[in-house]
Amino acid sequence: MGTVDLPSDRSWARGHWRITGWLLAAVWLFFLNIPLLTALHQAEVWRRAVGASTLVGFGVLYVWVFEWSRSCRQAHRPIPRRRAWSFLAALLGLGLAGIPGTEGDWLTTLVFVAAAAVFLLPTREGLVVVVLAALAPPVSAALVPAWKSEGTVVFAVVLASFAMFGVTRLAQRNTELQAAQQEIHRLAVAEERARTARDLHDILGHSLTVVAVKAELAGRLLELDPARAAVEIADVERLARQALADVRGTVGAYRGVALVTELAGARSALAAAGIVAQVPEAAPPLPVERDELFGWAVREGVTNVVRHSGARRCEIRVEPTAVEVRDDGRGPAGESDPAGHGLVGLRERARRLDATVSVGRRPDGRGFVLRVAVPDGDPA
């Protein structure tokens, strides 16, 4: 499968949309040809200069304002209202300043003022500007008889405003979609980090606890029974290598947990800690996801018993729909560390199968019990 250069693709996309944005704003300037022709046909040179220069300045400012507002939305920055009104006033001022050269055709610039109000201002304020721009041609014709009221200008104001409203809403939705995609990506990364931290905690918490217990036992046996101490040291080496393999497996996302394996590990860990263990020799056939969940439950429960409970006996019960780790210690079995990561991780795994995790004192008051149960009839 070929590789994709994502940064280059993003750079190309940004450049593509930047050019598209400039073109989208500039293409509308074609409608300034009417006042521009009027200015260029003026008899006096100064009128031609005033009309042409103000229209050029008007077009440049309009395109720049459009691109500026679009970049603000893409960067998720609000458009300052005072600056928006300043830009609109500047556009209107340039349109009015060109009257000596454009005469009544300056009204065409109101089409752009209305469109700019739509993408710069909130909806209600923009609507007010659009209405005023649409009323300006007939009012101007009534006040200045030389300026004919052209219905085409009113229609152009309304049409351009509606078109810009659609473009603005589309840009806003695209911006919201990009923000949502970025948030989804951030949450996915955070979830993956949390999963990795949880798995590493569960793996190393159990393995290092057993390693510490066996190392302590080997130290006590070193003078009394060197052969037994050597066996325990060999187990420590094996467990350390297994923990390393599990960590590598977690990083590579191919590590799995099996109930049978965890039962065997529990038997060894409890024996090394001097705890009388009652562990099933075999496990009932279970679906893969449930078998893995029960394996995690045994690992977490035995780790807590060895590390915290001070128990002398531990019993593990496995049923098709539940697994229990019971001890006669002082507990509590759920506090594997101050943050409770082990139990939190176990509950997260159980939630995927709609299973329940309960930790508390045994009904007879003699010790604690960790129980994980799936609903009856759960096919998982």
Q: How do residues 93-106 score in pLDDT, each as one tens digit?
A: 999 998 998 888 88
For residue 294, pLDDT beyond 90? yes
Token pair 């939630």 in the structure block, residue: 351
pTM, full prediction:
0.47
Can you spell out the DSSP letters for 304-364? HIIIII--SEEEEEEETTEEEEEE-SS--TT-SSTT-HHHHHHHHHHHHTT-EEEEEE-TT
Q: What is the mean pLDDT of the chain?
A: 78
Distance CA 283, CA 263 (A): 8
- Smallest CA-to-CA distance from 279 within 316, 324, 325 is with 316
User: What digits encode the pLDDT tens for the residues 240-291?
Assistant: 777 766 666 665 544 567 888 889 888 888 887 888 989 998 888 899 889 9
User: What digits encode the pLDDT tens for the residues 359-373?
Assistant: 888 877 778 899 999
Of the two residues 282 and 89, the one the predictor is more confident about is 89
Distance CA 103, CA 332 (A): 89
Tell me the residue type at 260. V
What fold, for 257-380? Answer: Heat Shock Protein 90 (3.30.565)
The arithmetic mean of pLDDT across residues 140-161, rounded, is: 75
DSSP for residue 377: T
Residue 202: band (very low, low, confident or very high) from pLDDT cuts 50, 70, 90: low
Domain extents in the chain: 6-183, 257-380
Lowest mean pLDDT among 159-168, 249-258, 275-284, 341-350: 249-258
Structure tokens at 310: 């001070």
Listed in sequence order, the residues at least 6 apart from 103 whose beta carbon sits closer than 8 Å to its beta carbon are 38, 146, 147
User: What digits encode the pLDDT tens for the residues 16-51?
Assistant: 445 555 566 666 777 788 888 888 888 899 999 999
Structure tokens at 138: 């007939």
For residue 208, pLDDT beyond 90? no
Burial of 125 (0-12, 13-18, 19+ CB in 10 A): middle
Tell me the residue type at 22. W
